[in-house]
Structure 1
């Protein structure tokens, strides 16, 4: 197996394979590839345990490493998933949160493994890119939200 030049490595306690299959079931252009097992016992695991899982999330190559509980995920890393409709935003948000995840603010949520996701409508990022009053209104509206409401952002953009 050839690994991509730039691959995101995500540390999991012990559920990298379950997480990879979950992501592949939700997001387009996502799949699970090779699963590698530990050739020897290691801190936090035994020979034969799943050690590394190769997977892709929305076209981005990733490796899930089952390294034990020593390094938990934090908000310092997140996947930012661009959406084009309220239905798409709702689908991703609900899938993550209803599978043991947690809601957060401003389009962020956390999956049950502690990985952070930004479910971000393009209407929001487009408004922010315009700058000025449009960006201020869109930002102000976003700051009141958990899951992003497309209609509310559209209304803020219009003023």
Structure 2
């Protein structure tokens, strides 16, 4: 996954939201995020990644962020089929999270429902990628 592509989604979405809101309020142009706001957006981005990383580490799936890319790895056999799906869901979640935080911090109360739904989709996919771990009690027939 390309970090820049995810932030470009945020820039595009904030542009359209800002253009729509300008009809109601001329000061709505502050909604429109751009590369000048990258420091703030980067903080939101890292916050979302930390949450994902914490969850995925418990499931033996790794979400690794480099300077420009994000990579998802798993020890599960045949993980390639699910990996692409997970990368798309993570990309959508990160864009949704950053957009939500940006709009909320700029005084536009929006529902966190989109972020919650995106996170649940990611968690479901992470669980599908996680290797199955058997508990000792299950092995003993309890």
How high is the TM-score relative to the length of structure 2?
A: 0.26
- Say which structure, 1 or 2, has more relative contact order (CA 8 Å, 6+ apart): 2
Between Structure 1 and Structure 2, which shows a larger proportion of helix residues? Answer: 2
Between Structure 1 and Structure 2, which shows a larger proportion of strand residues? Answer: 1
